[in-house]
Amino acid sequence: EPEVTQTPSHQVTQMGQEVILRCVPISNHLYFYWYRQILGQKVEFLVSFYNNEISEKSEIFDDQFSVERPDGSNFTLKIRSTKLEDSAMYFCASKWGGPSNQPQHFGDGTRLSIL
Amino acid sequence: AQKITQTQPGMFVQEKEAVTLDCTYDTSDQSYGLFWYKQPSSGEMIFLIYQGSYDEQNATEGRYSLNFQKARKSANLVISASQLGDSAMYFCAMTHGTYKYIFGTGTRLKVLA
């Protein structure tokens, strides 16, 4: 069964450094999402992406964050200058189409640790 | 604004028994979807079951069923014949169309041998 792939599984970065989290969504999916989960807390929406542009973003997704789909397969989340509070599990998800009954398929996540 | 509430931070169930995990939601939309995901200790998010707001029948998927009460705005997950491998965090989520998921705070289920 096709799956969403995220790399790396764990990233350790110094505060202030840039980090790029990578995702390969399921190949025929059209809608892409990033979520984060701070340890022990609920999963929070960051951004959704469709037709090569951001369709919605949360308050968390400030100017330090950006997303792109450079080559039609990878979907990346960049954090320009990381802060301690960016430490979390980051999930990429993708969905085939618009109907509500289509579930989002999640990757296994990237655990980001900021030192 | 949409909101999901899961009031049970933790639940215990004896192996082979059934358990109900509660989820209530708030939305002004007429068309929406409700989803349940399982998150084992390894961290991945596994889709379990879906219920659409216009679905007249409660959704079922193997040992999982959804007790959907639209007037009460509740979408409780029922796991029948619990297994040790069901021990995990369970999240209820809501979405409207292609939009983001709104997640609840989750319920940690522990199945006892």
Q: What is the pLDDT of residue B97?
A: 62
- A86, A31 in Cβ contact below 8 A? no
Give dist(CA B63, CA A40) in Å, integer. Answer: 27
Contact A91, A106 (CB under 8 A): yes
Residue A51 in tokens: 């037709």
SS3 B84: helix
Reply yes or no on whether the pLDDT at A89 is more than 90: yes
Nearest CA in chain A to B98: A98
A89 in contact with B, Cβ within 8 Å: yes
B98 pLDDT tier (thresholds 50, 70, 90) = low
Asked if residue A83 lies in contact with residue A36, where contact means CB atoms within 8 angstroms, the answer is no
- A104 has pLDDT over 80: yes
pLDDT tens, residue by residue, B54-89:
988 999 999 999 999 999 999 999 999 999 999 999
pLDDT at A102: 80
Q: What is the pLDDT of residue A13?
A: 96
* N-term to C-term CA, chain B: 41
Mean pLDDT of B34-49: 94
Q: Is the dihedral of CA A15, A108, B50, B108 positive or negative?
A: negative
pLDDT tens track for A33-47: 999 999 888 899 999
> What pairs with residue B3 in β-bridges?
B26
Residue A32 touches chain B, beta carbons under 8 Å: no
* Residue A34, beta-bridge partner list: A47, A92
Pairs of CB atoms within 8 A across A/B: 67
Distance, CA of B22 to chain centre: 7
- Percent share of chain B, pLDDT over 70: 98
Q: Dig out the tokens for A76 from the structure.
A: 């990346």
Nearest to A42 among B43, B97, B105 (CB): B105
Of B99, B88, B4, the closest CA to residue B48 belongs to B88
For B97, the closest of A33, A98, A109 (CB atoms) is A98
Average pLDDT over residues A43-64: 94
Give the mean pLDDT of B31-40: 94
Determine contact: A45 vs chain B, CB below 8 A.
Answer: yes
CB contact under 8 A, A100 and B35: no
Q: Quick one: pLDDT at residue B106? A: 96
